[in-house]
Amino acid sequence: MIQAHGIVKRFRRKSVLSELDLSLAPGRVTVLLGRNGSGKSTLLKLCLGLLKADLGTLSVCGFDPSKRARPVRQAVGYVPDMPDCYRWMTAADLFGFLKPQYPTWNDDEAARLGQALEVPLRTPFSGMSRGEGMKAMLVAALAPQPELLLLDEPFAGLDAVAREEVLRAVIGSLRDGERTVLCTTHDLDVAARIADDVAVLSGGRIDAHGPLTEVLETERCLPERMKDLLVGAQA
């Protein structure tokens, strides 16, 4: 679903990603771990074609996103760390805007998720809580029934109730291994609950990538406190 080889991304003189390699198999949930500023969001934007790599090759759902961004975005659901629509829009406005752009948009799925998550359809995003806004963005990402779901810190800043609602919606969307997910998060409890695999991004490269239990057992790149938290969350 994602094949990245030798990816380099610089912003002026600063190198954010440096010869990064990453391969995601279909049907796996991968949690991308890394410090703030390590390049996690940059990698997701490269996958969507919002940024272009300086060097390396990248394939997402069989397409180069820098050259074929439209088919990539039609196959990918994306939830940013903050709602990225106009603040005057309502959820109903957003769904109506997106529907014609996605041949696979499912009105029934949008209605089901919106009702389950209690998304206020007629409230402008400017009047929503952070949790309501993120739930609306999650519905927008899942209604087209994407092959690949990219989640960029979707749980950050949510209160406990909203966090659990969003988490349950994500877990419920996994479709028994039919959907591939790449999720960046600092929430180690979330990582332990949803991850099949973890990838550790450090120094612009993937230092470790594999099943969660194997990475915890074999890799030294995870700080001991992070290991303890992940193990505790799994228990």
Cβ neighbours for 214, distance < 8 A, ≥ 6 positions apart: none
Q: Read off the amino acid at residue 32.
A: L
Strand partners, 151: 79, 183
For residue 161, the tally of other CB atoms under 10 A from its CB is: 9
In the structure encoding, which two tokens stand for residue 153, read together? 């810190």
Q: Read off the amino acid at residue 219.
A: E
Q: What pLDDT, on a 0 to 100 scale, did the predictor assign at position 167?
A: 84
Strand partners, 77: 149
Q: What pLDDT, on a 0 to 100 scale, did the predictor assign at position 177?
A: 64
pLDDT in tens, 168-221: 888 877 765 678 999 998 777 778 888 889 998 888 999 889 887 777 666 555
Please give the Cα distance from 168 to 26 (Å, whole number): 21
Please give the Cα distance from 184 to 41 (Å, whole number): 8
Q: What pLDDT, on a 0 to 100 scale, did the predictor assign at position 182?
A: 95
Residues of the chain with pLDDT under 70: 175-177, 216-235
Q: What pLDDT, on a 0 to 100 scale, did the predictor assign at position 231?
A: 47
In the structure encoding, which two tokens stand for residue 84, read together? 């990225």
Q: What pLDDT, on a 0 to 100 scale, did the predictor assign at position 7?
A: 96
Fold of 27-51+69-234: Rossmann fold (3.40.50)
Q: What pLDDT, on a 0 to 100 scale, did the predictor assign at position 176?
A: 58
Q: What pLDDT, on a 0 to 100 scale, did the predictor assign at position 229?
A: 44
Number of residues that this document lists for the chain:
235
- What are the structural domain ranges in the chain? 27-51+69-234
58 by DSSP, 3-state: which? Answer: strand
CA 61 to chain centroid: 15
Please give the Cα distance from 33 to 74 (Å, whole number): 26
Please give the Cα distance from 195 to 10 (Å, whole number): 29
Reported as half-sphere exposure (CB side, CA atoms, 13 A), residue 224 has a value of 0
Q: CB of 158 within 8 A of CB of 131? A: yes
